[in-house]
Chain A
Amino acid sequence: MEMLLALFVLSIFLGFELINKVPPTLHTPLMSGANAISGITVVGALAALAVATKGAPFSKFLAFLAVIAAMINVVGGFVVTDRMLKMFVKKK
């Protein structure tokens, strides 16, 4: 548990360092990319799905919904970010 807390604090500092220098041009793709990464909760949803298979069907149902919602976040986020960044890079 202490290790998770340490990871949490260090990752916040890392996040600050990484994002601080991003030029304004990239703020929208950055945000939608970061948004996609926050869909990492899908990993938690899968873990919960595994736990839930042992017991409560309602739990399983919630974990299943969580997988769907998080995957929309992940795939939608990455695809839309790619769409935007493609426009920046393409030659005039």
Chain B
Amino acid sequence: MLITLLNLLAASLFIFGLKKLSAVKTARFGNQLAAAGMALAIVVTMVHVTELSWVYAILGILIGSAVGAYAAQKVQMTQMPQMVALFNGLGGLASAFVGIAELLPKAQIYLSMGHFSHHQATAIWFVAVVLSVLVGGLTFTGSLVAFAKLQELISGKPMALPQQQLINAGLGIACVVLTILGLAIFSSAGWVITCVMFLLVISLVLGVSLTMPIGGADMPVVISLLNSYSGIAGAAAGFAVGEPILVIAGAMVGASGIILTQIMCKAMNRSLANVIFGGFGAEDSSGGGGEYKNTRSTTAEEAAMLFDSAQLAIIVPGYGLAVAQAQHAVREFANLLEKKGCKVLYAIHPVAGRMPGHMNVLLAEANIPYEQLIEMDQINSEFKNADIALVLGANDVVNPAAKTDPKSPIYGMPVLNVEQARTVIMVKRSMNPGFAGIKNELFELENTLMLFGDAKKVVSDLNEQLKQL
């Protein structure tokens, strides 16, 4: 009874924690609440399970905590997506191992009562074991691939075998067949365990083959989806070991991952199926990279003079800004403008980083107040009042073709209305089309000035020029 109540308290701490995480002012407290809930759940479990091998339990906890804390302290904010992917993958791996460790000692005992399918309880138990192995294994290798793509250990380009979807479908069918074999056909523990081991191998392969064909630009969706999977794997493990707290926490994480996945898909105007099976960017330049005509370029000196007389400047940061580590220079730039009486806002597109909300974290790191970071829906009506829109390392999210050209591959994707600003200054390394290889009509507009160079270098130059004015 006491154990149940304490576990209920831990679950409540998760719920309150997640709730507090939804407002900036209380978010840190919310995270601490959730961490307290986790600590409570762990202690309660260690005390109430009988015959716990304390040495292994404590040793495992110490090793895991040390590695986790070290990695979390060391990681840079730009690398946050791959860190989250890696943690996520380990959670999935743990769930898969829990499933197998649960199966091995119990399979023989349960089989003495007949096939798993003979009794409702053993049937559900076996399916839960299978699901925790399958989803956990898939989450593990899928996250590793996402990590490798984000860390640029492998190319971010979509990579697919010929007949990839056929192969995946075949693997999926194999999973179903193996599950049925284990559930209703095999009656020896050895065969059932072999079945589950095959399922583990298939799930590891599936994780790779489902993630490899997804392009680097779609990583925000993949990370969100894998986050959801790790929750579902945890819930499945909860069914397998009969621990309600795993089911509750796993289901909530699963739901949150699904919501973020939906938000990311909407921000790119793509369906989830399209992201997973589409291989976006595999068939490049369907919109025609094309030549640019009549573009105007400018210099830092000229641009600084424009900024000097501006009342409202909107900065549009993209991932290019983070790559160039230009956040701190941007912060200084905004300070200089504000001293001259110019209001500065930041327009944040939902997919501006490599994971949902990534850009906000990167700018927060440079001490940019979050009140100045305005989401797309709110900022879009502001652009017409802006004297200057400064686009730093963003491309597709400011392409007006998404609104006007039904033939464009990104047509229908919500974009920032930068072209409505009196002047648009587009900072770019070169004239190359963006990640997706789509021509950006913005470059050819009359009010657009191109400012070529590395984002950090350009902003530093602007700062120098502004100081002299």
List residues of chain A with CB under 8 Å of any chain B CB: 1, 3-4, 7-9, 11-16, 18-56, 58-60, 62-90, 92
Contact = CB atoms under 8 A, between A and B. Distances in A.
A81 B31 contact: yes
Given A52-B104, A73-B87, A85-B28, A79 B247 contact: no
B216 interface: no
Interface of B: 14-15, 17-19, 21-25, 27-28, 30-32, 34-35, 38, 41-42, 45-46, 49-53, 56-57, 59-61, 63-65, 67-69, 71-73, 75, 77, 80, 83-84, 87-88, 90-91, 93-95, 97-98, 100-102, 104-106, 120-121, 124, 223-224, 227, 230-231, 233-235, 237-260, 263, 348, 350, 353, 355-358, 360-361, 364-365, 367, 369-370, 373, 375
A29 B95 contact: no
Given A46-B45, A75-B64, 10 more contacts: A4-B239, A26-B360, A27-B357, A28-B353, A28-B357, A51-B241, A59-B104, A66-B97, A67-B56, A72-B87
Helix, strand, loop or mixed for chain B's interface? helix
B52 A53 contact: yes
Given A30-B21, A40-B41, A73-B91, A12 B255 contact: yes
Contact of B24 (A9, A26, A72): A26
Given A30-B22, A69-B90, A76-B87, A25 B64 contact: no
A90 B27 CA distance: 12
B356 A69 contact: no
A40 B35 CA distance: 10
A82 B31 contact: yes
Contact of A77 (B25, B68, B350): B68
Contacts of B243: 43-44, 47
Given A7-B244, A78-B35, A28 B80 contact: yes
